[in-house]
Structure 1
Amino acid sequence: MKKYYNSYLVAAFLYCLPLLIANIYYIDDNGRATLGYTNWGGDGRPLADIIMKMMFLSSHVADIFPLPLIISIALLAFVFSLYHKQNFSSLPGWIGALATLSFFANPYLAEVFSYRFDVLTLSCALALSLAWVLLPPLNRIVRFVIGIAIIIAIYSLYQIAVNVAVMMALVVTFRQIINNDRPAVIFMSLLQRGVEVLVASIIYLKIVLPSTFSGDHPANHPNIAGNQLWLTINHNVQAYWDFINQTFYKDGKGMAVLVAILILAVISAAVIALRYIRAGMKHSRIAIGLLALLLPLVAFVMIAGNLLFLENALLVPRALLSISGFMLFSATLMAWAFRGKMCFVFAVMAVPLLYAVTSIYVYGNAIKQQDNINQGVVYQLKNDTATLADQNFYMQFVGTSPRAQVYKNALRNYPVLGVLIPEYFANWWFPFPYMALKGYQVLNPLKDDLTVTNENLHEGLCQGERIAHHQDYDLYKYQNRLTVDFTLQGCQR
């Protein structure tokens, strides 16, 4: 166990090393580091608030990076070592290690580890999602109650991680098939875990969520769809399909990669099922074998899982952390199916893992260089408005801010960077805490319930006075608004 733990501790550390070196503040970090708020409970994640308040012995948080990331690495390494010991102890070490580390074969996972604060609560959710099926043998009732409590805890840390937990329940089913358990035992075990998830979901949705959620449902915190549920699901499926295609892998082949992994998982499931059926040709065993063929499809659907029932698609990398669960699920099946002389087939999992690992190193360098560019823009804006320091102005943006050359070059091979690296200078909430972190205070129109419309932008460019001109932007002043024009086209755009 200690040997496994040390190995996975090193592996997880090497995976996160580029983020430690980059040392950047990521989206929500800008506000939390400067204002010290928590408020995860307002998003329906009360346990996240509790964990962070316990760490700081206060409801006011401060920047203690990289401690949350270090704790997260240690926690995940512990869970990975348990997973390896339970599932791969009888297999060659490289197979178990590659299968377990396939969890990292997900470029979107980089966003989880980018947060200086959220990384701890998100990692706790992921760790529990894997650990809830790694518990030692317990009384059935005790196991049922603990299982429900763990699922509620996962919901209360990060709702999407429940999709990973469901996939791990499917891994248990295949482990029972590998162990040649009786069909009734396999079916009842799967049923019990299904009921645990169902009961926990009801408790969370009916009790925990209403008592903690702020009630605000913007696009990045959508509500559960009510009317036209089927149409909403179809729309969300298409949205996630397109998003993955465009960003998961280069050349628009994101879904092709995942479908290829799915095919290998189905083939692996068929091999495992055939061995089980051959051990005793009974109708019940055949039924379990047929069920095994369907479970990889269930795991594939669970990549989006509960996200499909929301009013709109949540197209951000962290929303697809379940791909890590799917990769781990698929790799586990392949490790069990292709053993002995066929183990070379399993080496195919090294391909998506290598791509994901190189992508996070590329990402670490690119986001650091982009932050240098962004910082330069902030300092120039501060200098341009120095004579206006005694006045209060709102700021709005037109066009796209300059991109670091390192970022633009890397984007050709790693399109995921386009959704991992935030565009701060846009008309949303986060340019203002970002600029405040860099020492520049300007009014946020959204904070005062003011929208930034096309009419506002047109007025700013066409009726405003140009007060600064640079290589990267023009700055206009009109009434109480400053307009930053990255297009350099002014009223002609």
Structure 2
Amino acid sequence: MRMGDWLDRELGSRRVWLCFLLATFAYVLPLILADYPYIDDNWRSLAAGMGWSGEGRLFTQLFYNWLTFTGAAPNIFPLPLLIATLAMAWALTRLTFHYFAEPTFTHCLVVLAFWYNPFFLQNLSYQYDGPAMALSLVAVIFAITFRSVSRVQQLVVPALLIALGLGLYQVSINVFVGLCCVELLRCANDRLPWLEWGRMIGWKVAQTGLAWLIYGATAYAYMSPNRTLLLNGSAAPWQQLGTNFSRVLEKVMLLFHGGFGWVFAALLLCAVAGSVRVGQHILERQETGLRKALIGVLCLLVVPVIVLLVPGAALFFRDFNEGARTLMGFSVLLVLLFYLSHLALAAVHQRLPLLLLIPLLAMLSLSFAYGRVLMVQKTFANNALNALSYDIASRPALRDAKRIYMSVTYSDHWLVGAAGSFKQLPVLRYLLNTDYYMLAENLPKAGITNVMAERERRNATRVGYQGFVPLVDSQYYRIYLLGDYGFIVMKEPKPVAELQW
């Protein structure tokens, strides 16, 4: 069979699943090879700790209990990520056949954009939380694609799946609502009858409402109250929302740098052309003018709603988190852009949608670049651990101190080895998000157990002990000893001039 025939032919479910399996595994391979414990992974692996139930993520806790056959969470990476990747390949296969009755290779590219969300790399960096976050997406995809002739099953099963996704990671609700918006656009393009259109919206609303009730009666009941605080209604909430969204937009724009900007600009132009075709299909519907207008308005609203769902519900919480791991809604925005672009390109020539490989390859390239940055960070962290543990263990006064407090100093200049990558791909620094020298919970790995992070002292170390003579004065830190207590003060790293070789 010629290569061209394979590209044009309809693919069966087995071939589609195999395509997704290879593509999804390629995206996580750099993270598996790096094998870098990311932030929370350090204390979780040290104590086989959990703590997810207090965050409203009871099902993540149960997932690790069941997977490790224990009442805790021993580190078994990369097994959870491999399981999540297999599940995601299955879910993307279901989504492909849900969107396209006779899928070809180019249709798979549209759905693959969901997994190739560059910001999701930060989610997957967590060896513990990453697989659970991926499984939350699997749950909402199955909720979207589930179909049954039984009305009870059509209501209850998706609601259970949505509640499962919420109990694994609450941000997945942004993805579910976003996929519902894509459903509206897809049904309009496929000329779904008016009554079917309204029925579909009603089902989604009912499923979401029941899912929140199930989640409220299960995982939400274990959540600590301070995690549910919303924006202060008496302190200009709309201004707070605008500020939060502008901060997210600033971070998202880091992705569109250099060649990435041109690639996504071309993708956006193709999507605009695809939206024109959707508009033409709406005008060709055998409906009244009012119904056509209503469908058109709803389709127009899909775009701003999906854009808002990139950060989504996180915008409304008082403890706003602008980290990349909260931008799971960007996956739906990519699917929308790829879906509309496919409509436009396929109208010109059936093989022209193969151009969608270009943005996918760009995002896969970013994944491998990020994996190399993680390797550099791992080397730097290991060297930092060796240096600091040696300075403490080799001095009896520090080794026997009752407590050593470590100050927290954040900077963008710790990781000099990745400066070139950060300059060419600024989004990598945002994804890495490890702007510190050392975490106190890393030191027990080297047998040092008397060091703790300075939290309640609010960096009093940096202010109160600078006048004393340090016991240790190294390149990155000073260690002071006052009585039985030590104090580690990080030096502010200085920007390094661009290296010339």
Place the TM-score, normalised by the shorter chain, in its bin: 0.7 to 0.9
Write the letter of the residue equivalent to 1:485: M
Give 1:241's match in structure 2, choosing from 249, 269, 273: 249
| 1:282-431 alignment, distance < 5 Å | 282-283=288-289, 284-341=291-348, 346=353, 349-386=356-393, 387=395, 388-392=398-402, 393-398=404-409, 400=411, 403-423=414-434, 425=436, 431=439
Give 1:280's match in structure 2, choosing from 261, 268, 286: 286
**How far did residue 45 of structure 1 move?**
0.8
Write the letter of the residue equivalent to 1:82: R
| 1:463-474 alignment, distance < 5 Å | 464-474=468-478
Partner of 1:81: 93
**How far did residue 240 of structure 1 move?**
1.3
In structure 2, distance between residues paired with 1:47 and 1:118: 12
Provide the identity percentage: 20
Give 1:230's match in structure 2, choosing from 217, 238, 241: 238
In structure 2, distance between residues paired with 1:124 and 1:105: 15
In structure 2, distance between residues paired with 1:425 and 1:303: 27
Check whether the contact 1:459–1:478 (CA below 8 A) recurs between aligned residues. no
**How far did residue 349 of structure 1 move?**
4.2
Aligned with 2:481: secondary structure?
strand
Instruction: Say whether residues 1:459 and 2:464 are aligned partners.
Output: yes
CA separation of 1:69 and 1:250: change in aligned 2, threshold 3 A: same
| Equivalences, count | 474
| 1:141-160 alignment, distance < 5 Å | 141-160=152-171
Partner of 2:40: 28
**How far did residue 250 of structure 1 move?**
2.6
**How far did residue 290 of structure 1 move?**
3.1
In structure 2, distance between residues paired with 1:280 and 1:127: 36
Partner of 1:200: 211
Instruction: Say whether residues 1:55 and 2:67 are aligned partners.
Output: yes
In structure 1, distance between residues paired with 2:80 and 2:409: 36
Write the letter of the residue equivalent to 2:48: G
In structure 1, distance between residues paired with 2:264 and 2:320: 19
Aligned with 1:466: secondary structure?
coil
Check whether the contact 2:443–2:451 (CA below 8 A) recurs between aligned residues. no
CA separation of 1:152 and 1:185: change in aligned 2, threshold 3 A: same
Instruction: Say whether residues 1:433 and 2:433 are aligned partners.
Output: no
Write the letter of the residue equivalent to 2:43: G
Check whether the contact 1:382–1:440 (CA below 8 A) recurs between aligned residues. yes
Check whether the contact 1:30–1:437 (CA below 8 A) recurs between aligned residues. no
Give CA deviations for 1:296-348 in whole Å, capped at 9, x if unaligned: 22212211221121114311111112111211132123324542325677556
Partner of 1:64: 76
Give 1:138's match in structure 2, choosing from 143, 149, 153: 149
Write the letter of the residue equivalent to 1:484: V
Give 1:162's match in structure 2, choosing from 170, 173, 190: 173
Check whether the contact 1:411–1:417 (CA below 8 A) recurs between aligned residues. yes
Give CA deviations for 1:22-78 in whole Å, capped at 9, x if unaligned: 111111111111101112111011111111111122222211111111101101011
Check whether the contact 2:414–2:493 (CA below 8 A) recurs between aligned residues. no
CA separation of 1:279 and 1:398: change in aligned 2, threshold 3 A: closer
Q: Which moved more, 1:7-16 or 1:57-66?
A: 57-66
Task: List runs of 5+ in structure 2 lacking aligned partners.
Answer: 1-12, 495-501
Give CA deviations for 1:231-268 in whole Å, capped at 9, x if unaligned: 332222122122222x33336998x9878866654542
Check whether the contact 1:265–1:296 (CA below 8 A) recurs between aligned residues. no
Partner of 1:487: 492
Partner of 2:4: none
In structure 2, distance between residues paired with 1:456 and 1:405: 26
Give 2:187's match in structure 1, choosing from 158, 176, 188: 176
CA separation of 1:266 and 1:131: change in aligned 2, threshold 3 A: farther
TM-score (norm 1): 0.87
In structure 2, distance between residues paired with 1:13 and 1:47: 24
Task: List runs of 5+ in structure 1 lacking aligned partners.
Answer: none
Check whether the contact 2:408–2:453 (CA below 8 A) recurs between aligned residues. no
Give CA deviations for 1:408-460 in whole Å, capped at 9, x if unaligned: 1110122222133243646xxx81222323443343245xx62323x431212
Give CA deviations for 1:110-155 in whole Å, capped at 9, x if unaligned: 1222222222211110111222111133323421222222222211
Check whether the contact 1:239–1:313 (CA below 8 A) recurs between aligned residues. no
Q: Which moved more, 1:6-15 or 1:413-422?
A: 413-422
Partner of 1:213: 223
Instruction: Say whether residues 1:268 and 2:274 are aligned partners.
Output: yes
In structure 2, distance between residues paired with 1:88 and 1:407: 42
Check whether the contact 1:250–1:412 (CA below 8 A) recurs between aligned residues. no
CA separation of 1:258 and 1:441: change in aligned 2, threshold 3 A: farther
In structure 2, distance between residues paired with 1:353 and 1:149: 32
In structure 2, distance between residues paired with 1:273 and 1:250: 31
Q: Which moved more, 1:465-474 or 1:159-168?
A: 465-474
In structure 2, distance between residues paired with 1:258 and 1:195: 36
In structure 2, distance between residues paired with 1:301 and 1:261: 19
| 1:242-257 alignment, distance < 5 Å | 242-245=250-253, 247-250=254-257
In structure 1, distance between residues paired with 2:163 and 2:55: 15
Aligned with 2:466: secondary structure?
helix
CA separation of 1:420 and 1:77: change in aligned 2, threshold 3 A: same
Q: Which moved more, 1:261-270 or 1:384-393?
A: 261-270
Check whether the contact 2:478–2:491 (CA below 8 A) recurs between aligned residues. yes
In structure 2, distance between residues paired with 1:103 and 1:340: 23
Check whether the contact 1:402–1:472 (CA below 8 A) recurs between aligned residues. no
Q: Which moved more, 1:7-16 or 1:295-304?
A: 295-304
Check whether the contact 2:462–2:489 (CA below 8 A) recurs between aligned residues. no
CA separation of 1:382 and 1:267: change in aligned 2, threshold 3 A: same
CA separation of 1:136 and 1:398: change in aligned 2, threshold 3 A: closer
CA separation of 1:106 and 1:401: change in aligned 2, threshold 3 A: closer
Aligned with 1:412: secondary structure?
helix
Check whether the contact 1:32–1:61 (CA below 8 A) recurs between aligned residues. yes
Partner of 2:8: none
Write the letter of the residue equivalent to 1:302: L
Check whether the contact 1:99–1:332 (CA below 8 A) recurs between aligned residues. yes
**How far did residue 192 of structure 1 move?**
2.3
